[in-house]
Amino acid sequence: MAPAAEIGVLDLQGGVQEHLDHLQRIGVPAKPIKQAREFRGLAGLIIPGGESTCLARLLTIFGLREVILEEHRRGLKLWGTCAGTILLAKENVGESPHLGLIDVSVQRNAFGSQLDSFQCRVQVPEVSTESIPLTFIRAPKIVSVRPAVNVLLEIDGYIAAAEDEQTLVTIFHPELTPNLAFHRYFARKCGLQPQAGGSAIDPTWTRQSWTHIQRSSDLS
């Protein structure tokens, strides 16, 4: 049997095409995932940002909650961005957890409303030798982690990125910047080899770059 060689992006709601665009830029085979049968051959799955309550309901409607739990038990690597982090956390402050697959506690809408969205640049040594631009949109905060979880980035007293052996969570949106470092990092976590590059920044990227991707999943 051939080894798993693709990364999927959960295609229910949120920034699906933007993640697919970044994965394409680093030369990693990727596809949108909307049905259980599409999990076959995946090395990793990205749960994108969006609206966590909506995403949780759609997981149930599409019958994917148990599929993700089972595939995780079989070794599937997971990456949650923003709302995806809320879905993957074992504890959500004041709310019930959803998938509960990484031992962190998350506070939803911790920065306020959409008007409180912001950008910044930081160093994340495990991910890139260059500073990384971050985009926060109605972001949660990771308020605590358990010993099995490694903190990748802490800013002003809250945790912005963390991981365990199988799962990566980021409260920001790497897919909404020209920086490819986190997508390369996740690809390597999945056992894949992304294309090598000099700078982590792709100078050809624009905010509309993702629109070139054909949404074949919409026809299924």
Amino acid at 198: G
Q: Which is it for strands 77-81 and 167-170: parallel, antiparallel or unpaired? A: parallel
Q: Which of 58, 35, 29, 46 is nearest to 82 (CA)?
A: 46
Report yes or no: 52 and 12 within 8 Å, Cβ to Cβ: no
How confident is the model over 35-43, as a mean pLDDT?
95
Q: Identify the band that residue 5 occupies on the pLDDT scale cut at 50, 70 and 90.
A: confident
13 lies in some domain: yes
Mean pLDDT of all residues in the chain? 89
120 lies in some domain: yes
What pTM was computed for the model? 0.90
16 lies in some domain: yes
What tokens appear for 59 in the block?
């997981």
CATH number of 56's domain: 3.40.50.880
1 lies in some domain: no
135 lies in some domain: yes
193 lies in some domain: yes
Indicate the number of domains in the chain: 1
176 burial via Cβ count (<10 Å: 0-12, 13-18, 19+): buried
Structure confidence at residue 92 (pLDDT): 93
155 lies in some domain: yes
Residue 68: domain span:
6-219
Does the pLDDT of residue 218 top 80, yes or no?
no
Distance, in Å, from the CA atom of 84 to the CA atom of 78, rounded to the nearest integer, reads 10
How confident is the model over 175-198, as a mean pLDDT?
91
63 lies in some domain: yes
**Catalytic residue positions?**
82, 173, 175
